[in-house]
């Protein structure tokens, strides 16, 4: 399975491509950053990001696209640009019939390190180790895109729904599944369910 990870951003949009083989063996394929000129209008910047993502999807023909779920930050302009870049990534995938998964930064950290509060350098080192790279992927947007692809590849499928499935998960994957279930329960409580 080929997975294309996207760390959305309006100036720098990280793109990482991996292959998840048998027994969840992960292989590095590609990493890059699609850039837009901050001195041009926002519509043209989004077009540049969209065209760059389309080129990557057409080149690597992924089976899934894993995009960072946008979360609230203090800088509203950053959140809006990130959300718009995530939207064009979803659009490019939808136009090609590629399934999209959204993962939070905490989910990616849990999948890689077992710690949802891991530091950026820890994530970069784990991406390097898991994919057998000789150097840390740069810039940080590129490492984040690879971490999102890895997160998608390692996500528990049906975890904690049956004891037999749970036995085949790593400790980090079990922790990831438990955190996802806890978050889903909290969201249900907040929604009045």
Residue 37 annotated as part of some ligand binding site: no
Say whether 7 is catalytic.
Answer: yes
Are 51 and 182 contacting, i.e. CB atoms less than 8 angstroms apart? Answer: no
* Distance, CA of 4 to CA of 53 (rounded, Å): 10
Give yes or no for a contact between 152 and 173, defined as CB atoms under 8 angstroms apart: no
Ligand-binding annotation for 68, yes or no, is yes
The active-site residue, picked from 68, 107, 124, 144, is: 68
Which residue out of 19, 43, 55, 141 is catalytically annotated?
A: 141
Query: Is residue 58 annotated as part of the catalytic site, yes or no?
Result: no
Q: Which residues are catalytic?
A: 7, 68, 141
The binding site comprises 7, 68, 141
The binding site for Mg(2+) comprises 7, 68, 141
């Amino acid at each position: 399975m080929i997975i294309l990870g996207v760390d959305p951003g309006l100036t720098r949009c990280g793109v990482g491509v991996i292959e998840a083989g048998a027994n969840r063996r992960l292989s590095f394929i590609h990493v890059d950053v699609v850039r837009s000129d901050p001195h041009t209008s926002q519509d043209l910047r989004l077009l540049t990001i969209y065209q760059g993502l389309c080129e990557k999807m057409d080149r690597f023909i992924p089976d899934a696209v894993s995009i960072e779920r946008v979360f609230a930050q203090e800088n509203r302009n950053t959140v809006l640009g990130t959300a718009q870049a995530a939207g064009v990534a979803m659009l490019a995938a939808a136009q090609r019939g590629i399934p999209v998964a959204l993962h939070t930064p905490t989910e990616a950290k849990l999948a890689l390190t077992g710690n949802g509060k891991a530091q950026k350098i820890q994530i970069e080192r784990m991406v390097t180790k898991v994919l057998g790279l000789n150097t840390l992927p740069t810039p940080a947007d590129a490492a984040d895109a690879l971490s999102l692809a890895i997160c998608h590849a390692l996500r528990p499928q049906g975890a904690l729904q049956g004891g037999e499935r749970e036995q085949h998960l790593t400790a980090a994957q079990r922790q990831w599944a438990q955190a996802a279930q806890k978050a889903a329960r909290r969201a249900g409580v907040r929604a009045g369910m």
